[in-house]
């Protein structure tokens, strides 16, 4: 049993940022991670995945991008290395191979966090496992024939890993647009089922759209009302492709592929 003031669950960008701030404040803590730092970036990303934000926006407490390509977009592997270097820089107390099994409130000690590497008692616990920790798969998907291969972005790796045949991509936000673009580029017949989204261009007047959002202070706004997981949000869904050679949007993707890609503005239904 480890007794410690604070326990952070997750050693991704959020967990490491919290760890850096706790370290600066002199608060003893442990960062529990099921693998190595940035494990999700290492094991749950498709091969071609890149950040949607340009490299210059990769800013964490006491750490920022200092490479030679500030306008580029880091690959998932580069992000993992970037975060690992960050953890090493300030000596983050990461406990690896510690998959969290449960977090329970106790009458006297605050919280008890049980993991595969032991148990920690902490006065405070920070859950930094990510907003999109679990994929949302419609219940109707369970009724599809077994011959239909079903994947989520967390289990998809590349077009070559899919069986032969056409592909239906359900959802046309950032991930859906990128995957449809990649699959169609690999010669697959793709149908992209889209809902309604508010879209922004990748660039405006020669500058990345995120430069404008940052300069206008829109990225510094605080959420006034706490949103329940899965609840409605007034924030637009941003369709962007993090690739230096692409200005891909949903409309340009449909126009480019013509009959090879079907798309609709109606919400998709598997029923």
Q: List pLDDT tens digits, range 154-189.
A: 899 999 999 999 999 988 888 888 888 889 889 899
What is the arithmetic mean of pLDDT over 33-42? 93
- pLDDT, position 138: 85
Cα distance between residue 45 and residue 190, in whole Å = 21
The full 3-state SS of the chain, as one line of letters, equals CEEEEEEEECCCHHHHHHHHHHHHCCCCEEEECCCCCCHHHHHCCCCCCECCCCHHHCEECCEECCCCCCCCCCEHHHHHHHHHHHHHHHCCCEECCCCEEEEEEECCCEEEEEECCEEEEEEEEEECCCCCCCCCCCHHHHHCCCCCCCCCCCCCCCHHHCCCCCEEEECCCHHHHHHHHHHHHCCCCEEEECCCCCCCCCEECCEEHHHHHHHCCHHHCCCCCCCCCCCCCCCCCCCCCCCCCCCCCHHHHHHHHHHHEEEECCCCCCC
| Least confident interval from 35-39, 88-92, 131-135, 202-206 | 131-135
Sign of the CA dihedral running 12, 132, 165, 256: negative
Each residue's pLDDT tens digit, 239-266: 666 665 555 566 666 665 554 544 444 4
Q: Could you give all domains of the chain from N- to C-terminal order, each with its CATH number?
A: 2-127 (3.50.50.60), 139-264 (no CATH)
What is the arithmetic mean of pLDDT over 41-70? 91
- pLDDT, position 268: 44
Cα distance between residue 32 and residue 101, in whole Å = 11
Bridge-based pairing state of the strands 118-127 and 2-9 = parallel
Residues comprising the chain, all counted: 271
Whether the per-residue pLDDT at 271 is higher than 70: the answer is: no
pLDDT band per the 50, 70, 90 thresholds, residue 216: very high
pTM given for the model: 0.82
The residues facing 60 across adjacent strands are: 63
Q: Choose among 259, 21, 229, 230: nearest CA to 124.
A: 21
């Amino acid at each position: 049993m480890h007794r410690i003031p604070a326990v952070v669950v997750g050693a991704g960008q959020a967990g490491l940022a919290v760890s850096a701030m706790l370290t600066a404040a002199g608060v003893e803590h442990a960062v529990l991670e099921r693998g190595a730092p940035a494990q999700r970036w290492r094991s749950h990303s498709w091969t071609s995945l890149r950040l949607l934000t340009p490299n210059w926006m990769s800013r964490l407490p006491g750490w920022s991008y200092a490479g030679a390509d500030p306008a580029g977009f880091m690959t998932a592997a580069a992000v993992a290395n970037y975060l690992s270097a960050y953890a090493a820089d300030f000596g983050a107390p990461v406990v690896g191979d510690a998959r969290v099994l449960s977090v329970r409130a106790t009458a006297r000690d605050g919280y008890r966090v049980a993991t595969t590497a032991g148990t920690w008692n902490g006065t405070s616990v920070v859950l930094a496992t990510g907003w999109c920790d679990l994929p949302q798969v419609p219940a109707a998907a369970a009724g599809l024939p077994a011959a239909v291969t079903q994947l989520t972005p967390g289990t998809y790796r590349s077009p070559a890993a899919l069986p032969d045949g056409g592909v239906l991509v359900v959802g046309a936000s950032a991930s859906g647009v990128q995957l449809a673009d990649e699959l169609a580029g690999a010669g697959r017949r793709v149908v992209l089922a889209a809902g309604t989204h508010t879209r922004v261009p990748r660039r405006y007047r020669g500058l990345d759209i995120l430069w404008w959002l940052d300069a206008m202070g829109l990225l510094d706004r605080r959420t006034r009302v706490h949103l329940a997981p899965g609840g409605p949000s007034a924030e637009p869904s941003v369709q962007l492709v993090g690739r230096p050679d692409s200005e891909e949007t949903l409309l340009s993707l449909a126009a480019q592929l013509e009959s090879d890609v079907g798309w609709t503005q109606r919400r998709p239904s598997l029923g």
